[in-house]
Amino acid sequence: MTDPRPINVLVVDDHPVVRDGLKNMLLAFDDLVLIGEAENGRAALALCHQNTPDVILMDIIMPGMGGIQATRTILGQYPQVKIVILTSFPEDDLIQEALEAGAIGYVLKNASIDTLANAIRSAYFGQLILAPEATKALIDIKTRPLKPGSDLTQREREVLALIVQGLSNEEIAERLVISPATARHHVSACIQKLEAANRAQAAALAIRHGLVS
């Protein structure tokens, strides 16, 4: 697993101290070269336009544009880039969102410099890298009970939002430009998937679990 040229790395983090630490870390390795640094995802995207990196070390929680949105946006334009999430937050949902956005790795900021360097190299060659905490979190996600409403389709979520507003089946049909029969079908599906007794209980469950805005 060798390459004749150095791996170009972009560091994205809103804390200057963290960026400085990562820059100093990269100086210790001849095969890793820092080509830029950014304080948020939007700035990172702009730098990619100027000089596309091989690997991005991306923080998750940042003002303006966070790491997950930035990962999704950058990979949409530069699919060849490899993004490693580097964060202090080993939270289940964040890990899942980051990987679904296209990140190839998830490493904690307290990792050793050798671990970070190897993560960059592995990402460059297309290998998935997960901190032990991230692996455990993904296992927990797979084994925990499904959140109520997790199996609702996008259309059913739209219908559920209108149920919460108190609209009747006919009003839902008119609002969504569908037939009354289709509206009834979607309402029934919402009630069934939420295991509710009726539409009022479905609305209550939707609010309690944050299924509608």
CA atoms within 13 A on the CB side of 136: 6
- Give a yes or no: residue 170 inside a domain: yes
- Give a yes or no: residue 88 inside a domain: yes
**120 and 165, same domain (yes or no):** no
**21 and 121, same domain (yes or no):** yes
**25 and 67, same domain (yes or no):** yes
- Give a yes or no: residue 123 inside a domain: yes
**49 and 14, same domain (yes or no):** yes
**pLDDT score of 140:** 64
Q: How many domains does the chain have?
A: 2
**80 and 174, same domain (yes or no):** no
Domain encompassing residue 167: 154-208
- Give a yes or no: residue 2 inside a domain: no
Higher pLDDT, residue 213 or 32: 32
94, 122, 143 - which closes a domain: 143
Share of the chain above pLDDT 90, in %: 68
**pLDDT score of 96:** 81
pLDDT tens string 158-188: 999 999 999 999 999 999 999 999 999 999 9
Mean pLDDT computed over every residue of the chain: 89
**pLDDT score of 49:** 93
**83 and 174, same domain (yes or no):** no
**124 and 186, same domain (yes or no):** no
**98 and 202, same domain (yes or no):** no
Token pair, residue 69, equals: 């949105």
- Give a yes or no: residue 134 inside a domain: yes
**Exposure class string for 87-116: b at 16+ Cβ within 10 A, else e:** bebbebebbbbbbebbbbbbbbbeeeeeeb
**59 and 134, same domain (yes or no):** yes
118, 143, 168 - which closes a domain: 143
Predicted model pTM? 0.65
- Give a yes or no: residue 213 inside a domain: no
CATH number at residue 17: 3.40.50.2300
Mean pLDDT of 40-61: 95
- Give a yes or no: residue 105 inside a domain: yes
Report which residue type is found at 171: E
**191 and 132, same domain (yes or no):** no
Across 44-48, 61-65, 98-102, 126-130, the highest mean pLDDT is recorded for 44-48
CA-based angle 65:69:75, to the nearest 5? 120
**36 and 97, same domain (yes or no):** yes
CATH number at residue 162: 1.10.10.10
- Give a yes or no: residue 74 inside a domain: yes
For the chain, what is the total number of helices (H) and then of strands (E)?
10, 6
**137 and 181, same domain (yes or no):** no
